[in-house]
Structure 1
Amino acid sequence: MKHKGSCHCGKVAFEVEGEIDGAMACNCSICQRKGSLLWFVPRSQLKLLTPEDQISTYSFNKHQIKHRFCPTCGMHPYGEGTDPKGNAMAAINIRCLEDIDLKAIPIQDFDGKSI
């Protein structure tokens, strides 16, 4: 299934392919503040509709994750990194997807604060 998503102002727009069978709520220093609910997909399933040079990036700690956000409204619709096997992954903030019933998606807590 194809899902459309964007930041609040719409400047950062994307499509992502896949079935949302769950999402993760992380309590690390950035995720807790952002309030993201993350759905992980292979990076190849994320298609940017906004040129990448118009999207801002924030990295911290070990700089392994690119937290992508809109320079206009500040919304964080997705992030990019690699899984433990080295595969390129995207972490989609499902709160930024259109027509999603958040109550119907199982949410798993992740203790990122302890990493």
Structure 2
Amino acid sequence: MAPARQGDPGLRKAGGSTQGFQEASRQVQTGLECREPRPEARSRRACRLERRSLGEQRERWETFQKRQRLSFEGAAKLLLDTYEYQGLVKHTGGCHCGAVRFEVWASADLHIFDCNCSICKKKQNKHFIVPASRFKLLKGADSITTYTFNTHKAQHTFCKRCGVQSFYSPRSNPGGFGIAPHCLDEGTVRSVVVEEFNGSDWEKAMKEHKTIKNMSKE
């Protein structure tokens, strides 16, 4: 700490005594400490700087954040996703009781597979396939349980509470997700095309199908 000088306000206020000098020193030190921002203050300051650095776009950005009810990071993610997944829309959905919720980027025109393998036939497992990077579980990781059988490659996930399977990891695309279109929220699906898939003769069907195995790839 630099020594207090005769012209320092604290020294003038307290007088020239030893006590006054000590008081002045304390005030100078306090001033230095106040100028060192706390972590939370630095965070707020960084946020203000980020907003100022937006320049002429600041007002548009803040209006966008308010309209979407998103944080700075959330708004940035939405814009980046929209740019990266051009031509796609963000669908949201979940199980019946609401414990499991997800979002997925996919076309508004869905290509649905209607599989007739032993389990898909019993649970009417119609689904469309997306890469894992386009799927995000919003909540409910602790509410999900998984059933597997035979090769155990397909991960049949469903809600522990209501029993609804809103998505799963298909055997045909273990690196992606099969999404149940009937579990999506309304308003984002424009059209649906259903293709029957002969899962009862799975190996042959996979060999003959030209595109299904690549649907989870970027």
Short-chain TM bin: 0.7 to 0.9
Count of equivalent residues: 113
Q: Which amino acid counterpart does residue 29 of structure 1 have in structure 2?
A: S
Q: Deviations over 1:47-100 (max 9, x none)?
A: 00124232111111101011110000100111115656xx71100011111116
Query: Within the alignment, does 1:66 sit opposite 2:155 as a pair?
Result: yes
1:1-40 equivalences under 5 Å are 1-19=89-107, 20-40=109-129
Q: Which runs of 5+ in 2 are unaligned?
A: 1-88, 203-218
Instruction: Give 1:36 deviation, angstroms.
Output: 2.2
Query: Within the alignment, does 1:97 sit opposite 2:184 as a pair?
Result: yes
Moved over 2 A (4+): 51-54, 81-84, 100-104
2:194 to 102, 107, 115: 107
Q: TM-score scaled by structure 1? A: 0.87
- Separation of aligned partners in 2, 1:14 and 1:94: 12
Helix, strand or coil for the counterpart of 2:169?
strand
Q: TM-score scaled by structure 2? A: 0.48
Helix, strand or coil for the counterpart of 1:109?
strand
Aligned to 2:139: 50
User: Whose RCO is larger (CA < 8 A, sep 6+)?
Assistant: 1
Structure having the higher helix fraction is: 2
- Separation of aligned partners in 2, 1:41 and 1:48: 13
- Separation of aligned partners in 1, 2:171 and 2:116: 19
Structure having the higher strand fraction is: 1
- Separation of aligned partners in 1, 2:120 and 2:164: 12
Q: Which amino acid counterpart does residue 60 of structure 1 have in structure 2?
A: F
Asked which structure has the greater CA Rg, the reply is 2
- Separation of aligned partners in 2, 1:41 and 1:64: 17
Q: Which runs of 5+ in 1 are unaligned?
A: none
